[in-house]
């Protein structure tokens, strides 16, 4: 397989994966729709930071050790599930208590503060605490590395393609979320958005907990 062919084929695979609605989509849309554009981009950069780490570790063979170790994989899976469930429950709790839309990380920043750093931390944690990302890279990445090329260099190149696709799609999501911003000025609309997003995040956490 030629390098260019490998890159385009991998771009198609990760493009379809990126377009599939999931946890990342929910976090980016919710944060951006609430008017926190800097924080939304922080979430995006955090998610892509996690992708880079998984890609680099896979290229070095580290994630193969994670997926091969049942204890390590299960431990990370439970930590990730607990984090997502806590995030979802906190978001739901605040809507029923009539509190402002919560920042769903462990910082002490005031709710509503629009900081790239807070979003980056949230996006990075969400991505790195999902062992299925590591499993995906271990299963898929080696198939697109042509024979005779540097495993590490080509792995990083493929990961860069994934990151670029993710950034492009995130820009579309953030642009679309701006349309919702006017409607979300209403407290009832903000509560509805947080209840939907909190439920989605909680479901992802439960699915991660019960998956093998």
Q: Mind listing the pLDDT tens digit for each residue in 74-85?
A: 887 888 788 888
- Where does residue 85 fall: left (phi above 0), alpha (psi -120 to 50 degrees), or beta otherwise? alpha
pLDDT value at 53 more than 80 = yes
pLDDT value at 120 more than 80 = yes
Residue 16 covered by a domain: no
Residue 32 covered by a domain: no
Tens digit of each residue's pLDDT (9 = 90 or more) over 124-149: 999 998 888 888 888 888 888 888 88
- Where does residue 99 fall: left (phi above 0), alpha (psi -120 to 50 degrees), or beta otherwise? beta
Provide mean pLDDT across the span 176-183.
76
At residue 105 the predicted structure's pLDDT band, cuts being 50, 70 and 90, is: very low
Structural domain containing residue 92? 38-210
* Distance (Å, whole) CA 64 – CA 46: 23
Q: Which single residue is written with the structure tokens 């799609």?
A: 169
Average pLDDT of the chain is: 82
pLDDT exceeding 90 applies to what percent of the chain? 29
Residue 112 covered by a domain: yes
At residue 40 the predicted structure's pLDDT band, cuts being 50, 70 and 90, is: very high
**What single DSSP character describes residue 34?**
T
Count of structural domains, the chain: 1
Candidates 60, 194, 200, 188; CA nearest to 134 is 60
Q: What is the pLDDT of residue 165?
A: 96
Choice among 15-19, 41-45, 105-109, 163-167 with the minimum mean pLDDT: 105-109
Residue 130 covered by a domain: yes
Residue 7 covered by a domain: no
Residue 27 covered by a domain: no
Provide mean pLDDT across the span 155-182.
90
Residue 100 backbone dihedrals phi, psi, to 5 degrees: -60, 160
At residue 109 the predicted structure's pLDDT band, cuts being 50, 70 and 90, is: very low
CB burial of residue 199 (10 Å; 0-12, 13-18, 19+): middle
Residue 143 backbone dihedrals phi, psi, to 5 degrees: -70, -20
């Amino acid at each position: 397989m030629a390098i260019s062919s490998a890159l385009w084929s991998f771009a198609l695979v990760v493009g379809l994966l990126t377009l599939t609605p999931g946890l990342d989509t929910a976090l980016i849309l919710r944060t951006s729709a609430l008017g926190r554009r800097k924080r939304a981009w922080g979430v995006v950069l955090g998610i892509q930071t996690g992708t880079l780490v998984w890609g680099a570790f896979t290229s070095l063979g580290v994630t193969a050790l994670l997926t091969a170790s049942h204890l390590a994989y299960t431990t990370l899976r439970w930590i990730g599930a607990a984090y997502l469930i806590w995030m979802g429950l906190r978001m739901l709790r605040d809507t029923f208590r009539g509190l402002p839309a919560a920042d769903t990380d462990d910082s002490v920043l005031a709710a509503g503060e629009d900081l790239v750093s807070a979003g980056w931390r949230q996006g990075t944690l969400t991505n790195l605490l999902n062992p299925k990302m590591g499993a995906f890279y271990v299963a898929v990445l080696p198939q697109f590395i042509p024979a005779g090329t540097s495993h590490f260099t080509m792995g990083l190149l493929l990961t860069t393609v994934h990151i670029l696709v993710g950034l492009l799609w995130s820009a579309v999501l953030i642009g679309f979320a701006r349309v919702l911003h006017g409607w979300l000025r209403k407290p009832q609309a903000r509560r509805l958005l947080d209840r939907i997003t909190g439920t989605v995040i909680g479901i992802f956490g439960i699915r991660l907990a019960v998956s093998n």
